């Protein structure tokens, strides 16, 4: 398998699960932007999360961002074993966060989106793929050979997590930490 194919193959293999993930993510954004979910507790939690990165700089900021995203990706995948509930929730919640955060910015929405794009090019596909892997793992309930299916999906998913998702998240963390330092 060549280098490019190594990174694109999982996206092709899990295209149905990725479509569901992206649909839920977009639905979350729409709900967040619509004001239907104008939940102050969620907004406060988002602000607190952003504030937790405020006093972190340089390499520490990079590692904090990377570890946060890698942990979220691992949870999205491995927790898929619980009937897909957690990947479903994570996908919807990530979109909801974006939908709630965009109007909170003191900048125009398009400017905020433009600032998110550079690291999002790597981070979103990685997280979407982790969620898609979680959806795939959750399909064990429909399989006759449940234990065999779970073992195969955990091995395959862990390999993808370490060899595809992790590199994407490392690149995203570099871009995001540099961008944060520039825009402070």
Q: How many C-beta neighbours within 10 Å does residue 42 have? A: 15
Distance CA(124)–CA(136), nearest Å, equals 18
Distance CA(166)–CA(123), nearest Å, equals 10
Please give the model's pTM, rounded to 2 decimal places: 0.91
Each residue's pLDDT expressed in tens, for the chain with a length of 184 residues: 688 898 999 999 999 999 999 999 999 999 988 877 666 777 777 778 777 778 889 999 999 999 999 999 999 999 999 978 999 999 999 999 888 888 877 888 888 888 888 889 999 999 999 999 999 999 999 999 999 999 999 999 999 999 999 999 999 999 999 988 887 7
Distance CA(72)–CA(62), nearest Å, equals 16
H/E stretch holding 53: none
Q: Identify the three-state secondary structure at position 54.
A: coil
Distance CA(152)–CA(156), nearest Å, equals 6
Alpha helices, H only, the chain: 3-13, 15-34, 40-52, 58-78, 85-104, 109-137, 146-160, 166-183
| DSSP code of residue 2 | -
């Amino acid at each position: 398998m060549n280098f490019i194919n190594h990174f694109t193959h999982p996206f092709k293999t899990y295209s149905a699960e990725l479509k569901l993930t992206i649909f839920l993510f977009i639905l979350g954004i729409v709900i967040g932007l619509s004001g239907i979910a104008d939940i102050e507790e969620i907004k406060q939690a988002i602000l607190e999360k952003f504030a937790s990165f405020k006093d972190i700089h340089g390499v520490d900021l990079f590692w904090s961002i990377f570890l946060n995203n890698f942990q979220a990706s691992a949870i999205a995948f491995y927790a898929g074993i619980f009937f897909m509930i957690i990947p479903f929730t994570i996908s919807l919640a990530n979109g909801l966060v974006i939908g709630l955060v965009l109007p909170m910015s003191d900048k125009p929405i398009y400017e905020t989106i433009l600032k998110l794009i550079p690291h999002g090019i790597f981070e979103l596909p990685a997280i979407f793929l982790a969620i898609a892997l979680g959806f795939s793992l959750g399909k064990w309930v429909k399989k006759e050979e449940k234990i065999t299916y779970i073992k195969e999906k955990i091995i395959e998913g862990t390999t993808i997590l370490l060899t595809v998702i992790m590199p994407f998240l490392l690149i995203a963390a570099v871009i995001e930490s540099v961008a944060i330092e520039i825009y402070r």
